[in-house]
Amino acid sequence: MVAALTRVFGVHNIALAEDVVQDAFCRAMEVWKFRGIPENPSAWLMATAKNRALDVLRRQRTARTSAPELGRLLESEWTLAPVVDELFAPNVIKDDLLRMMFSCCHPRLSEEAQVALILHILCGFSVGEIASAFVSGHAAIEKRIQRAKKVLAGSKRLFDVTLPADFSARLPAVHRALYLLFNEGYHGASAESAVRAQLCHEAMRLAAILLEHPRGATSTTYALSALMCLNAARLPARVDASGKLTSLFEQDRLLWDRKLVLEGLKLLELSASGSELTAYHVEAALASVHATAPRTEDTNWATIVSLYDTLMTIHPSPIVALNRAIAVAQHEGPERGLEEIDAIEDRKRLSAYPFYSAALGELELRRGRHETAREHFRAALALARNPMERRYLERRMNACERDDSQHVGFYEEFQNPPLAFESCLQGVRRS
Which residue ranges make up the site for another protein (CB under 8 A)?
22, 25-26, 29-37, 126, 128-129
Give min distance, CB of 103 to another protein, in A: 23
Which is nearer to another protein, 73 or 197 (by Cβ)?
197
Give dist(CA 95, CA 98) in Å, integer: 5
Give min distance, CB of 2 to another protein, in A: 13
Which is nearer to another protein, 128 or 427 (by Cβ)?
128
- 235-238 contact pairs (CB < 8 A, 24+): 235/186, 235/197, 235/200, 238/193, 238/412
Which is nearer to another protein, 35 or 295 (by Cβ)?
35
Listed in sequence order, the residues at least 6 apart from 29 whose beta carbon sits closer than 8 Å to its beta carbon are none
Which is nearer to another protein, 22 or 351 (by Cβ)?
22
Give min distance, CB of 138 to another protein, in A: 11
Tell which residue, 97, 109, 132, has the closest CA to residue 2. 97
Give min distance, CB of 35 to another protein, in A: 6
CB 7 within 8 A of CB 158: yes
CB 230 within 8 A of CB 167: no
Give min distance, CB of 266 to another protein, in A: 36
Q: Is 273 helix (H, G, I), strand (E, B) or coil?
A: coil
Give dist(CA 194, CA 238) in Å, integer: 12
Which is nearer to another protein, 82 or 128 (by Cβ)?
128
Which is nearer to another protein, 36 or 107 (by Cβ)?
36
Give dist(CA 93, CA 101) in Å, integer: 12
Give min distance, CB of 121 to another protein, in A: 14
Give dist(CA 94, CA 206) in Å, integer: 10
